[in-house]
Amino acid sequence: MNFKSLALALLLAPTALLAAERNDVPSCYAQARIDEFRTAPSGRMLTVVVDQTTPLTQDLQRTAWGHIKRFMQPGDKIRLYAFSAYLEGHYTRLRYAGELERPIDEKVLGSVPMMAARKFQSCLKNQPAQLFKGFGKAFAATMGKSSSDIPRSEILFSLKAVGEDMAKAEGVDEHVVLVMSDMLEYSDFASFYQSNGIRQIDPKVEIAKVEKQHLLGDFSGARVYVHGAAFIPTTAKNGYRSGKMIQNLEQFWSTYFKESNATLAGFGNPELTSAVE
């Protein structure tokens, strides 16, 4: 790893400490003071990662929002990260973290004080709306700051830091990741751009570069879905994307995630049509 890459890695390293079980949704169990009756979480966590150098259209943003809302079920956790270059206001950040709690197990419900149970049920009924309101606000703010004017996307450094956070999540044994990015300018040392368009690549050669820079991550066996791959704004003069270009791009990322303890389960180019599950 060269000095520039090492320095950038050190700058980004602290981001892995940001997600120490943060939860932006008040706990209904805590509010009703019945933590001793808490039902275990589902074990699932959805991690949404937004590349702020990719200004996706409103339609693509709405599609992503639909995937997120359909995925979340009682007991699930969710996190939202944003990244681009290591610039002020654009470095890798955890923007939101929340959890939907599960109802009290019927086996112990009879032991819960009646007033506490009623307070819990009222809180739990409103919890999904509260989570989606908070997540939606952070999501909209994150997408609103996306711009193709940001000079560099440090996706590999950022994904590696996100993977380290995922490994620390408590009570999670099923990870799902939704990456919203064009997946083109993946680090300071390499890019799939050429003259404001997409260049032909050899996936094996590009993966060898990643391995040489020690930029493979560990995503805890996650299923990874990509939304926005090879997205080129309509204003770009060289925005042509051939089938071979897309095929090579998908092969590169499929290999990257496989070697980073994950599976590329869906690759939207640019729109993800498969369900996030």
Give the pLDDT confidence of 39-83 residue by residue, as tens digits.
999 999 999 999 988 889 999 999 999 999 999 999 999 999 998
Cis previous bond, 270, omega within 30: yes
Answer for the pair 138, 96: CB distance below 8 angstroms, yes or no: yes
**Domain enclosing residue 263, as ranges:** 3-19+41-95+128-268
Residue 255 inside a domain? The answer is: yes
Kindly indicate the confidence band of residue 192, based on its pLDDT and cuts at 50, 70 and 90. confident
pLDDT surpassing 60 at residue 195: no
pTM over 0.85? The answer is: yes
Q: So what's the pLDDT on residue 83?
A: 87
pLDDT surpassing 90 at residue 148: no
pLDDT per position as a tens digit, 211-249: 998 989 999 999 999 999 988 765 544 445 567 888 999
Residue 144 inside a domain? The answer is: yes
The CATH number of residue 135's host domain is 3.40.50
Residue 273 inside a domain? The answer is: no
pLDDT surpassing 90 at residue 86: no
Residue 182 inside a domain? The answer is: yes
Residue 175 inside a domain? The answer is: yes
Residue 91 inside a domain? The answer is: yes
Residue 160 inside a domain? The answer is: yes
Please, which residues have CB within 8 angstroms of residue 158's CB and are 6 or more apart in sequence?
A: 12, 15, 49, 81, 83, 92
Q: How many domains does the chain have?
A: 1
What are the backbone angles phi and psi of residue 133, rounded to the nearest 5°?
A: -65, -45
Give the DSSP H/E element, type plus range, for residue 252: helix 243-258
